[in-house]
Amino acid sequence: MERYDLVVIGAGPGGYEAALEAAGLGLRTALIERRQLGGTCLNRGCIPTKALAHAAGLYAELNACGRFGLSAEQLRCDPAALAAYRQSTVETLRGGIALRLKQKKVNLFQGSGLVTAPHRVRVEPPQGGALELEAQNILVAAGAKPAVPPIPGAQLPGVMTSDELLEWSGPPFGTLLVIGGGVIGVEFASIYAALGTRVIILEALDGLLANLDRELGQSLKLLFKKRGVQVHTGARVEALEPASEKGRLCCRYTEKGVPAECGADAVLLAVGRTPCGLGAFAPGVAPASEKGRLLVNSAFATSLPGVYAIGDAIGGAQLAHLATAQGLAVVRALAGKAPGLRLDVVPACVYTEPEIASVGLSADEAKARGLAVQSKKYPMSANGRSVLTGQERGFIKVVYDPAGRAVLGAQLMCARATDLVGEFGLAIANGLTVEQMAAAIRPHPTFSEGISEVLRSC
């Protein structure tokens, strides 16, 4: 039986980064993955969707290039070539992970990893021939899978989760129905609308991106409508059925209590993701859990001795960078090191057009906690880089303590918002005041000048 200081189950960003960190700190480490290196993020999530978003953004920009005095003829989308670009991007990054693991001497096992007892893991390779590993510590980073709601007709051909839609390389859809107005739903809506597909969004809650600042969802809804995307909030899906027209689907729903229906060529189910952590344990061995998510303490320890869990497997914010930070925190604690990361300052990013990002507190969240705050907003329509690149509606908002002047949060909806939000995350993590953050000179003309402008208005 092979013995390890740490065995990691799941090679997504949380798992493989934890394995690399552990090996770098001198721990003998094994990593088990039943599918591809990189997990959902690399293979069925972050990277392929952002590759499609990049291509779709270029397509939309070229279609509108007349405003810049340019012209393009016979522009078209080749779905097969688009799929090949997406896949080549994934494979390049996957190869990079494999090389890093090899360089750090992490032992990689292909197969399912099952915790059979504290300090024991069984690896079940797809070709058979299980082997047993002994581990001083075990880290479960098993991720999550797309949730399929109990809607009649959810199993019909043409009804897909994000996994299946990312694999699609057939002809473009005339109409795509997106059930769910959260991050996954609005990102795919943005991509397909840019590629020329008619998009309909049905969201059961009262607004898009309900877990973020209300203004972000409201502004996105306005932009979507301007681009021809139909957005129905307060809409509950009753059933999906084959339409009278061959190959199409009909969706019956109620919107604010009023029955309605719509047709589509394909349906995306984007109603969240289900944790997969319990699947990493043999029958009768699983630790404490709640609704499928593994329960952990502040150190990410489960109720089983020596077994830790992170990322989507424990619920909460399902973000690749959060899973990575949690994995690093576990490993560094096992090695007797300080965590080095603020796990309570986590940026959230949405890759629509324009991008959306948020970190720290919104004004509503602060007030709900009884905190006296102020907020200021700068419209990016006044930003030189935004004007010359033809950006649409956008803003940067900062939330701060009026007494101590500390930056408490920020919400952005503008070009490069997912890059700019890091400045605010750094400020919050280090307790910077508005004045300290404003002290930096930001170059002109850049989108980052919007940060200076909003801070100067505080």
Active site residues: 444
Q: Quick one: which of 276, 314, 10, 271 has its CA closest to 138?
A: 10
Coil/strand/helix, residue 144: strand
Cis (ω within 30 of 0) for the bond into 347?
Answer: no
Phi, psi for 448 (deg, rounded to 5): -65, -15
d(CA 1, CA 113): 15
Beta strand 131-140 with 144-146 is unpaired
Q: Quick one: which of 352, 381, 321 has its CA closest to 231?
A: 352
Structure tokens at 451: 């940060």
d(CA 45, CA 31): 21
Q: Which DSSP string do the residues of 351-407 spell out, in sequence order?
A: -SSSEEEEEE--HHHHHHTT---EEEEEEGGG-HHHHHTT--S-EEEEEE-TTT-BE
Q: Quick one: which of 272, 409, 397, 412 has its CA closest to 352?
A: 412
Unique residue bearing structure tokens 């001198």: 26
Coil/strand/helix, residue 10: coil
Phi, psi for 153 (deg, rounded to 5): 95, 0
Structure tokens at 209: 């991106």
Coil/strand/helix, residue 115: strand
